[in-house]
Amino acid sequence: MTPDLILFLALALLAVATAVAMLASRSAVYSALFLVLNLVTVAILYLLLNAAFIAMVQVTVYAGAIMVLFLFVIMLLGSQQAAVGPDLPWQRTVSLVLGAALVALMGYVLLAGSRGTLLTATALLEGFGSPQSVGRVLFSEYMVPFEAVSTLLLAAMVGAIVLTRDERTEGR
Amino acid sequence: MNIPTNYVVALSAVLFTLGVVGVLIRRNAIIAFMSVELMLNAANLAFIAFARAQQQVSGHVFVFFVIAVAAAEVAVGLALIVTIFKAKHSIDVDQVSSLKG
């Protein structure tokens, strides 16, 4: 066992544990905070996988902006009080069986497919995954999708404002 | 760092499954929505693992796009949840069943 592998296994265990805690906790605020912890753990995994730029984007956009939006809405709605009906009688059993089936299927595909050369780690190029290398590809090969994404973000912003606008003040 | 790609993809599969179970098991719309984020995150992890195995920076660019689209999705989705809460005073996913024609 190399130190890298031990670090990876510890982070993987933490990621799975926080994901399970997110699903199990009764309070929506605790769920959101466990998800933040999960996202930060995955960001550290990105650092281990030579993706420094993506790790920073993950922390600032996901763990920062998106989760703050989630927490803001949870606290705005006061969903602690908002009662959610009882579970359907078969819901939990069926969900766990379907989940086990899915993970078994993906595990089978992974084991069956890993005999090829695709999954062997090779020596990395100099500066792979650095902000410079990602930026060079992003602003040359993927220039048009990049502009499309900026338009999409603008559309989402307008959509959020239109959806939550108060109907009563519309006439003023 | 010398981590086998298989292990990372296996972790990604487990996290994705936890997200699927979360959507199925919880009736709180916000928690179900957070489980969708967990699934997107698991897919991103697989992208990064394969980008490293294939020495392609394009994988990182795709993860960047996925995160940007997730941000847009969260903005609209949470606005919808707020609107439904204002109309129904509940965020139980069953409340949305009245939308069917």
Q: Both A90 and A73 in a single domain? A: no
Residue B83 main-chain phi, psi, to 5 deg: -65, -45
List the single residue in B7, B71, B72 with the smallest CB-CB distance to A8: B7
Write down which residue in A51, A85, A119 finishes a domain: A85
Tell me how close the Cα of B46 comes to any Cα of chain A, in angstroms. 10
Tell me how close the Cα of B54 comes to any Cα of chain A, in angstroms. 7
Question: What sign does the dihedral B3-A47-B36-B28 (CA atoms) show?
Answer: positive
Task: State which residues form the domain around A98.
Answer: 86-172
pLDDT attached to residue A122: 58
Q: Both A11 and A30 in a single domain? A: yes
CATH 2.40.10.170 assigned to B5-92: no
pLDDT digits (tens, 9 = 90+) for B26-71: 888 899 999 999 999 999 999 999 998 888 889 999 999 999 999 9
Query: How many C-beta atoms surround the C-beta of residue A154 within 10 A?
Result: 11
List the single residue in B5, B13, B78 with the smallest CB-CB distance to A107: B13
Give the total number of structural domains in chain A. Answer: 2
Is residue A32 a contact partner of residue A75, using CB atoms and an 8 Å limit? no
Q: Both A75 and A102 in a single domain? A: no
pLDDT digits (tens, 9 = 90+) for A94-148: 888 999 999 899 888 888 876 654 455 556 667 787 888 899 999 999 999 999 9
pLDDT higher than 90, residue A17: yes
For residue A11, the domain's CATH number is 1.20.120.1200
List the single residue in B52, B67, B79 with the smallest CB-CB distance to A58: B67
pLDDT attached to residue B21: 93
Is residue A70 a contact partner of residue B78, using CB atoms and an 8 Å limit? yes
pLDDT attached to residue B54: 84
Q: Both A22 and A76 in a single domain? A: yes
Rounded distance, CA A148 to CA B86, Å? 32
Q: Both A127 and A167 in a single domain? A: yes
Query: Do B82 and A73 count as a contact with CB atoms less than 8 A apart?
Result: yes
Write down which residue in A59, A85, A111 finishes a domain: A85
Q: Please, how many CA atoms are within 13 Å of residue A144, restricted to the half-sphere of its CB?
A: 1
Chain B CB contacts of A161 below 8 Å:
79
Q: Both A117 and A51 in a single domain? A: no
Rounded distance, CA A112 to CA A121, Å? 18
Is residue A15 a contact partner of residue A42, using CB atoms and an 8 Å limit? yes
Q: Both A66 and A1 in a single domain? A: yes
pLDDT attached to residue A50: 87
Q: Both A22 and A4 in a single domain? A: yes
Q: Whole-number mean pLDDT of chain B?
A: 88
pLDDT attached to residue B1: 59
ipTM of the complex as predicted = 0.91
pLDDT attached to residue A31: 92
Q: What is the mean pLDDT of residues A10-36?
A: 93
Tell me how close the Cα of A5 comes to any Cα of chain B, in angstroms. 6
Rounded distance, CA B25 to CA B31, Å? 10
Q: Where are the alpha helices (DSSP H) in A25-90?
A: 28-48, 52-57, 67-77
pLDDT attached to residue A82: 56
CA A36 to each of CA A32, A33, A164, B77: distance values in angstroms, whole numbers, following the listed order: 6, 5, 25, 18
Q: How many residues does chain B have?
A: 101
Q: Please, how many CA atoms are within 13 Å of residue B35, restricted to the half-sphere of its CB?
A: 24
Write down which residue in A23, A51, A85 finishes a domain: A85
pLDDT digits (tens, 9 = 90+) for A56-95: 999 999 888 999 999 999 988 875 655 566 667 788 888 8
Rounded distance, CA A88 to CA A108, Å? 31
Residues of chain B with pLDDT > 70, as a percent, come to 97
Question: What sign does the dihedral B19-A110-A10-B53 (CA atoms) show?
Answer: negative
pLDDT attached to residue A26: 84
